[in-house]
Amino acid sequence: MLEAAVRVFAERGFHAATMDEVAERAGVSKPMVYAYLGTKDELFVACLRREAGRLLASVAGVVDPQLPPDEQLWRGLRGFFSYVGSNRDGWAVLFRQARTREPFAGELARMRRGMVAVIAEKLADALRSRGRDVPADELQAMALALVGAGEALADRLVDTPHEEPERTATRLMNAIWLGAERQLDGEVWKPVGEGRLTQGRLPDNETAA
Residuewise pLDDT in 10s, the chain (209 residues) = 999 999 899 888 888 999 999 999 999 999 898 888 889 999 998 998 888 888 888 887 887 878 888 888 889 899 999 999 998 888 888 788 888 777 888 888 888 888 888 888 878 887 787 777 878 888 888 889 889 999 999 999 998 888 899 999 999 988 888 776 676 677 766 776 645 444 444 444 544 44
The CA-based angle 93-19-159, given to 5 degrees, is: 25
End-to-end CA distance of the chain: 49
Domain over 49-186 is classified CATH 1.10.357.10: yes
Helix H or strand E encompassing 200: strand 196-201
Closest by CA position to 166, among listed 96, 51, 78: 78
Number of C-alpha atoms within 13 angstroms, CB side, residue 29? 3
> For the chain, what are the domain ranges?
49-186
Cβ distance 38 to 45 under 8 Å? no
Helix H or strand E encompassing 191: strand 187-193
Rounded distance between C-alpha atoms, residue 111 and residue 103, angstroms: 13
